Structure 1
Amino acid sequence: MPLIMMTGLPSSGKSTRAAELKRLFEARLAQPEHQRRRLTVQIVGDDMLGVSHSVYAAAREEKNARGALLSAVERLVSRECIVIADAPNYIKGLRYQLHCIAREVGTTQCVVHCAISMDAARRYNESRGEAGYNVELFEALAARYEEPNGETRWDSPLFTIIQHDPEDVLPFDGIWDAVVERRAPPPNFATAMKPVAETNYLFELDRATQEVIGAVLESQKSGVPVALLPVPGTVERVRMPGRSVTLSELRRQRMQFTKLNRQIPLQIDKIAELFVKYLNINL
């Protein structure tokens, strides 16, 4: 039924909280008044997918790991299964893609933020020994972490747990209400829009994504490698993968992004920003 995204700094206790959340769901679903729901609970994460910490030290391997996570979530999320995505989920663009999967299926979602101070996460990571991240990778992932923002639709509803506060327990009743009791927004509500507004949105979606692709192709003509490429319509920059990106590859990414967002309109002034984030995950 719902999708629950865990997020937080490295070694912030996401997996511990995910396991706790699974136990709480299973206990409540076992109660007589909830057995009729016939829901199962599944954790999808690095352990299940066989992803080691070292993967996050190499951009291409990390990209493959994200692809495996998205595929697994897409395969499992349904109206009969509660999916807990227990992966780093530290980039906004990845959480946005997971959000799109939930909307396409027509189910609910929420984000659980395991908030912890850098010093506390660093100490806990060190205490884990070989099970933790090496120092360089921990610092790199922590520096890249993008905290969730409950005002964005892909990060809401947002539940924040202060990990170093022993009295801050999982707000399970709130999570249950948000993802089980609440009715999911229809995946195709955009079809109710006025034709003029829909036509304008699709035009802007096409224009903004095409401008981003044009900027990438134009930059490659010079033959001078660029690590972070500025593009029209946003302050976000495309992280070039260190190789030539083909037109067919860019068109394929654009078609997938357009498919995800055709029926669920984005804010027009955010299209370029989100497309750049999408490319940064998938290139």
Structure 2
Amino acid sequence: MSGLNTRVEEKKARASLISAVERLVSKEDVIYCGTPIEIAREWNSNRGEEGYEATIFDELVSRFEEPDDPKPPNLSTVAKPISETNYLYELEKTTQDIINAVLNVQKNDVGANSVTIPNTTKTIKLPSRTITLSELRRLRRQLTNINKTHTLDVDRVAELFVEYLNTNINR
């Protein structure tokens, strides 16, 4: 029964400690006491029977992560700043240029199996059928809707649209 009491008391002590820390910690005030592992190991061994067994202590040490700088916020909760005022214009223009390149190759080189896109290292793999303008516009609209909030680096739009086309063109 004493083992149960010890666990209950430990649980209460942890809850009290967590509560106190939560009251004290904020974005400006972070609590972290850096203690070298060897000193912590010595303190643990000085606690006698109340200390952790060596294997448990080592497991705790291996799971501990020292805090870096304050953790960056989750990207889904951060408003995405638009650094380029003409982001949507560039997105539309770049994707339209790629659509035009695809249509030109299909029109001028009927047997072509790929389209080389200027200013990228990527190529679009053409299917054996003709890709229609409406299909290309639909895919462009999908990509634009996904990225209206500036999730793409404007310099990578062409490359990512080519990847998007290659993924979705043969579906």
Match of 2:34 in 1: none
Q: 2:72 and 2:82 mapped to 1: Cα distance? A: 23
1:193/1:272 CA distance change after superposition, 3 Å: closer
8 Å CA contact retained: 1:229, 1:239: yes
Match of residue 82 from structure 2: 193
Letter in 2 for 1:186: S
Instruction: Give the whole-Å Cα distance in 2 for the aligned partners of 1:271 and 1:235.
Output: 13
Are 1:257 and 2:147 an aligned pair? no
Is 2:108 the counterpart of 1:222?
yes
Which secondary structure does the structure 2 equivalent of 1:186 belong to?
helix
Q: Does 1:208 align with 2:89?
A: no
Q: 1:31 — aligned with what? A: none
Size of the aligned set, in residue pairs, is 102
Q: Which has the higher contact order (CA 8 A, sep 6+)?
A: 1
Distance across 2 between alignment mates of 1:202 and 1:275: 14
* Partner Cα distance (2:151, 2:94) in 1: 13
Runs of 4+ in 1 over 2 A off after TM superposition: 181-184
The 1:244/1:201 distance shift into structure 2, 3 A limit, reads same
* Residues 218-261 of structure 1: per-residue CA shift (max 9 Å, x gap): 11112522112101221200010111000000000000001111
TM-score by length of 1: 0.33
- Of 89, 108, 118, which aligns to 1:232? 118
Correspondences of 1:33-48 after superposition (within 5 Å): none
Preserved contact between residue 98 and residue 158 of structure 2 (Cα < 8 Å): yes
Q: Kindly name which structure, 1 or 2, has the bigger radius of gyration based on alpha carbons.
A: 2
Report 1:134-145 matches (<5 A). none
Task: Indicate the larger mover: 210-219 or 225-234.
Answer: 225-234
Whole-Å separation in 2 of the counterparts to 1:258 and 1:233: 20
* Matches of 1:230 and 1:189, distance apart in 2: 35
Determine which of 141, 156, 160 is the counterpart of 1:270.
Answer: 156
Q: 1:188 to 1:248 in 2, by over 3 A?
A: farther
Partner of 2:164, secondary structure, is helix
- Which has a greater percent of strand? 1
Q: TM-score w.r.t. structure 2 length?
A: 0.53
**Aligned residues: CA RMSD:** 2.6
Q: For the Cα contact (< 8 Å) 1:227–1:242, is it kept in 2? A: yes
In 1, Cα distance between the equivalents of 2:82 and 2:76? 13
Q: Is the 8 A contact 2:87 2:150 kept in 1?
A: no
1:247 corresponding residue in structure 2:
133
The amino acid across from 1:201 in the alignment is Y
Give the Å deviation of 1:262: 1.3
For 1:193 and 1:248, the matched residues in 2 are separated by: 29
In structure 2, the gaps of 5 or more residues are 1-62, 65-70
Letter in 2 for 1:185: L
Contact 1:233 1:269 in 2 (8 A): no
Equivalent residues in 2 for 1:118-129, closer than 5 Å: none
Q: Give identity over the alignment, percent.
A: 41
